[in-house]
Each structure stands twice: as C-alpha cells, then as structure tokens.
Structure 1
Amino acid sequence: MKVLSVHASRDRGFPRLRVEAVKLVPGYGIAGDRKAGKREQRAVLLLGQATYEHLESLGFDLPYGALGENMVLDLDPHLLRPGTKLRVGEALLEVSLYCTPCKTLKERYGSNFPQKLGRRRGMLARVLEGGTVQAGDAVQIL
C-alpha cells in the first residue's frame, strides 16, 4: 500500500494544493497547512483513491485535493477503525474519526453532493511521530 498524492494549503477552501512532500509534526499536523495546530485529532485528512473512482462513476471529474484531503492512499481508510495506527512514510499516524462532508463541498459541487459522496469523505488522523511524507511512500497498517 502506498501514498498516491499529498496536499497542503495555507489558504481557506478547496482544492488543497498538490505538493512534493509534507512534514508532519506530532500533536500539530502538517507544517504550513492552514488546519495545523487547531485540533490534534483532526490533524490529517486521509482519503482513498476509491472515493475519487466512486465520484467519477457519478460524473464528477475531480482532481486529487478537490475534497480537501491531505493524502490520497491506495487503500480505503474507511475500513480502518479509530485507534488504528499507520506508518506513512517516516510518520506514525493514528486514525481518530470519520470526517463528515462540510458546507464548502455543498457550495462548491452542488446541494446534493454530500449525499452522492456518502460516507466516503475520509478519515481524520492525529500525528504520533513526525516525519516527511511524499507520493510513493509506503503505508503500513500496524
């Protein structure tokens, strides 16, 4: 399993910009990302490639980052329970909770977008051990 893309943005809204790499900081999140340092259990948003495939099947042609995620993985994070630990690149993450669709998605993609997205918005995680993560890095479920 691996990381397909990484995203961060200092600015509010979507999409989050694709970046070469991100630096994760324990108890803080992604250095330079607008959400960093706000709520530890919501530090990193993980999304599976399957979410984009689902949306494409419904006629949405969205680039990675369009849903505000920090990482797109080639595994479905919705299959992971809160408390599951993941080694992602150099960092250690702990899945904390399900991410519900926000009003920005509704405003950007239409009032029925949250229903079409369903429970595929991603999983939020906290950073237990810091390090750099980039596309192509391995993902291990511990």
Structure 2
Amino acid sequence: MAFPFVGNSSSAIGQLLATLPQTGRLEWIGLRPVRREPLLSVPEATVETDRHLAGDHARPRPGGKRQVTLIQHEHLAAVAGYLGHPSPIDPGRLRRNLSVSGINLLSLKNRRIRIGEEVILEITGECHPCSRMEEELGPGGYNAMRGHGGLTARILMGGTIRVGDQVQVITDEPQ
C-alpha cells in the first residue's frame, strides 16, 4: 500500500503511526482474586468502567492509568525462548490481565481500543517487568521480560469481554 507523503517528514511519520488496520484477538483473560496468588484463567470477565476487572483483587483508583494490563500473546514464545523453555510461557505467570494476538500492542500507546462489542480501553503506557519475574520465571526472568512487559490501560467503557473477542483500534472522527 502506498502512502501519500505530503508536507514535512513529521507529517509522513504521523501518517504511518496513524495507519493501523489490523484487528487483534483476545486470547486469554486472567483474574487475581487474592494478592500474590496465581491468576485464574477465565473465559469471560466483567469490565467495570473506570475501575478494574470484576473479581480481580487490584483496586486502582478511578481515573488511574493502570486499571487493566495487557500483554502481546506472540511475546509469550519469545520470553520462553530467552529462558530456554520449549513452549510459550503461560500468560498467567506474567501477571497481566489480558493477552492479545494479531495486533502490535506497542503501536497502541496513547490510543483507544474496543474489545468485543462494549469495552473501550485507553492505552496509557508500558507495563514494565518487576522483580517478581525472577521469582516466577527463575533466574533471568526479569531480563527476559524487558521489552515484553505489555501495556497498561484505563477503562473508558465497561461491559463483558470473552476469549475470542476482536480487538480493534478506535479511529478518531474527523474534526
């Protein structure tokens, strides 16, 4: 596909950054009912507007930037490879709420996405690994996760999400 490059290079980059036609897929949902306990894999979850996933122990403040966390599903195999594991890491071990495939999550920073029919998230930043990765994945776990920690998001509109739901970028309306 050709892009019409007009104006200076910053407008060309802006055009490239705005072009994200892919549709992703929600591969996994995880809830932590109790702090420091393993995440539970669930087929669906209720997402509470400006709060969290119902059933998750985390209670972020309204307006907070880390109400839900997402990880790139394709990175599960990369992290496993860095650690010498023969198969992808189970997403629950990485302590993120949602695993998404088919769309580059990092390209979604500062954008809004829709999951399924109802839920809208605003991607607020990167979710860097913590020292718990050494505990969970063994020696080298922290460094294996660097650059693969996923993203944080604010919940703009709640609803129900299900494994298999589409994940789409919400494009802004022309002004």
If the length of structure 2 is used for normalisation, what is the TM-score? 0.74
Superposed CA RMSD in Å reads: 1.6
Q: Is the 8 A contact 2:106 2:151 kept in 1?
A: yes
Partners of 2:81 and 2:56 lie apart in 1 by 30
Partners of 2:57 and 2:36 lie apart in 1 by 10
Counterpart residue number, 2:52: 29
Structure 1: stretches of 5+ with no match in the other structure:
none
Q: Is the 8 A contact 2:128 2:146 kept in 1?
A: no
Number of equivalences: 141
Partners of 2:157 and 2:123 lie apart in 1 by 13
Counterpart residue number, 1:43: 67
Structure 2: stretches of 5+ with no match in the other structure:
1-23, 171-175
1:50-72 CA-partner distances (Å, limit 9, x unpaired) = 21010232323421211011111
Q: Which residue type is aligned with residue 71 of structure 1? A: L
Percent of residue pairs bearing the same amino acid type: 26
Task: Give 3-state SS (helix, strand or coil) of 1:53's partner.
Answer: helix
Shift of 1:136: 0.5
Larger relative contact order (CA 8 Å, sep ≥ 6):
1
Q: Is the 8 A contact 1:50 1:76 kept in 2?
A: no
Comparing 127-136 and 114-123, the one that deviates more: 114-123
Q: Which protein shows a greater Rg? A: 2
Counterpart residue number, 1:13: 36
Work out which of the residue numbers 111, 115, 128 in structure 1 matches 2:156: 128
Counterpart residue number, 2:107: 79
1:86-134 CA-partner distances (Å, limit 9, x unpaired) = 0012200000111111121122223421112221111000100000111
Change (3 A) 1:56 1:78: same
Counterpart residue number, 1:105: 133
Counterpart residue number, 1:141: 169
In proportion to residue count, which structure has more strand?
Answer: 1
Partners of 1:115 and 1:37 lie apart in 2 by 27
Change (3 A) 1:35 1:122: same
